[in-house]
């Protein structure tokens, strides 16, 4: 989910954005400063500001980094469905993707923090929009193949519901999180897939 090994980033930028993810997860958006990211990344002071001059540039780059990880994991799911998976395999693949996000709790927490900023900062909303549109498109494509009615609404509902499920999972003991996501997620996804 965190866009690890993003081929479009230099190793230094990758390191900065991974550190920024950890900073936001640990301290929230108020804790996201160039100095905090430098310290978390183990880089000399001023390194982050050399790449991302302003705080908005840092926040926008982090948003794009998190969004790229989301797109990557959902595109894997789309490819599996296009390969001819049946509905049960689709559900399991989707649950694998969502459960996989639990293995990167820092990225999940950072995404939730960034989502709050979207309402206040148009630049962050603009950075998140391509990912949101791509994810909705991919989920919509999967739902179309599964014969779902009113695909746009169903896609938005599933995405919103699963975001809530993942956030709720983080409040549970670590050993219970995956079972929670799989159990509740299955209920949500199957509610939209026609039976028969």
Predicted model pTM: 0.82
Chain segment 101-111, per-residue pLDDT in tens: 898 899 999 99
Cα–Cα distances (Å) from 195 to 87, 96, 140, 152, 192, in that order, read 10, 21, 18, 19, 9
Chain segment 143-186, per-residue pLDDT in tens: 888 888 899 999 999 989 999 999 999 999 999 999 999 999 99
- Using alpha carbons only, give the angle 28, 74, 61 rounded to the nearest 5 degrees: 40
Q: Quote the DSSP letter at residue 10.
A: -
Topology of domain 11-190, CATH = Tetracycline Repressor; domain 2 (1.10.357)
């Amino acid at each position: 989910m965190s866009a690890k090994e993003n081929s479009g980033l230099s190793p230094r930028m990758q390191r900065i954005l991974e550190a920024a993810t950890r900073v936001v997860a640990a301290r929230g958006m108020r804790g996201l400063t160039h100095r905090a990211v430098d310290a978390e990344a183990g880089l000399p002071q001023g390194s982050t500001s050399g790449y991302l001059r302003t705080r908005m540039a840092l926040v926008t780059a982090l948003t794009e980094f998190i969004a790229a990880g989301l797109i990557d994991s959902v595109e894997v799911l789309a490819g599996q469905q296009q390969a001819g998976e049946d509905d049960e395999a689709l559900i399991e693949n989707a649950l694998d993707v969502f459960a996989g996000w639990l293995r990167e709790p820092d990225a999940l927490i950072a995404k939730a923090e960034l989502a709050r900023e979207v309402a206040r900062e148009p630049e962050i909303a603009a950075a998140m929009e391509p990912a949101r549109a791509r994810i909705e498109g991919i989920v919509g494509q999967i739902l179309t193949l599964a014969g779902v009615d009113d695909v746009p609404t169903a896609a938005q509902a599933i995405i919103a519901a699963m975001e809530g499920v993942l956030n709720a999972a983080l409040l549970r003991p670590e050993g219970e999180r995956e079972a929670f996501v799989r159990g509740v997620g299955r209920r949500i996804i199957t509610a939209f897939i026609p039976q028969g």
